[in-house]
């Protein structure tokens, strides 16, 4: 086992948990925000399990997923916008719980949690299919075009799954206002994909042909 990688993963996991919990419970003014506990459970328990599996079976993929240092200046702006989007969405969800602005029925949170977990399963399948996945936009050494499985349906199945994950999160939290904020993820990933495809087409053999063959980027028959 790579001990350094293990401690790096554990540190990032704990920091992420504490940050998300603080962004939810502090504005909520209470630990009685049950939807927040639900989100923390369905978000971090599968994340922990996925991290253990990657550490044991594919530590290099885990190392890539932990690396968030973008080299592209355009992508740095995308990361910043995404961070601000999450900050606003979580804060609004907590405030919505505290002041009861728009209260959604409990079944909405449960249904959204089911969608979230299904999207997480798709996310795991994407990680299994593509060992070149990293959190940064780059062409890696010996990288090949993946065109099987979900990659035969859309060119960016990772963004398809994150779209489902991110849009279900605010509904798990019971916040319509946060959902409206999370819709900003659509233009954000559109900007990221545009730059990413330019990088891949310029540096990855066969990507231009793959792009012509698989028409849809994120949503089958739509986009």
What would the pLDDT profile of 100-117 be if each residue is shown by its tens digit? Answer: 999 999 999 999 999 999
Q: Given a cut of 90, is residue 68 above it in pLDDT?
A: no
Q: Which residues contact 112 (CB under 8 A, 6 or more apart)?
A: 168, 169, 171, 172
Is CATH 1.20.120.1630 correct for 3-213? yes
The pLDDT confidence band at residue 79, using thresholds 50, 70 and 90, is: confident
Please state, for a pLDDT cut of 70, what percent of the chain lies above it.
90
Which candidate, 36, 24, 20, 41, places its Cα nearest to that of 95? Answer: 24
* 91 CB-contact burial (10 Å; exposed 0-12 / middle 13-18 / buried 19+): middle
Top-confidence residue, 102 or 75: 102
Boundaries of every domain in the chain: 3-213
To which residue do tokens 């885990």 refer? 62
Encode pLDDT of 44-56 as tens digits. Answer: 999 998 888 888 8
Q: Output the average pLDDT for the chain.
A: 89
To which residue do tokens 């209260």 refer? 103
Q: Given a cut of 90, is residue 67 above it in pLDDT?
A: no
Q: Given a cut of 90, is residue 179 above it in pLDDT?
A: yes
């Amino acid at each position: 086992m790579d001990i350094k990688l293990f401690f790096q993963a554990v540190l990032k996991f704990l920091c992420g948990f504490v940050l998300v919990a603080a962004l939810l419970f502090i504005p909520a003014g209470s630990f009685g925000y049950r939807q927040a506990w639900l989100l923390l459970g369905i978000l971090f328990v599968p994340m922990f399990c996925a991290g253990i599996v990657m550490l044991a079976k594919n530590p290099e993929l885990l190392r890539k997923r932990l690396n968030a240092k973008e080299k592209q200046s355009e992508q740095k702006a995308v990361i910043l916008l995404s961070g601000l989007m999450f900050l606003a969405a979580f804060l609004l969800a907590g405030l919505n719980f505290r002041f009861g602005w728009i209260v959604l029925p409990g079944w909405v949170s449960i249904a959204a949690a089911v969608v979230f977990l299904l999207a997480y399963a798709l996310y795991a399948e994407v990680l299994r299919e593509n060992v070149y996945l990293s959190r940064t936009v780059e062409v890696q050494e010996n990288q090949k075009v993946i065109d099987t499985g979900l990659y035969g349906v859309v060119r960016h199945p990772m963004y398809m799954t994150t779209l489902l994950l991110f849009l279900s999160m605010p509904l798990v939290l019971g916040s319509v206002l946060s959902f409206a904020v999370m819709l900003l993820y659509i233009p954000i990933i559109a900007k990221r994909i545009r730059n990413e495809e330019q990088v891949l087409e310029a540096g990855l053999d066969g990507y231009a042909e793959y792009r012509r063959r698989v028409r849809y980027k994120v949503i089958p028959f739509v986009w």
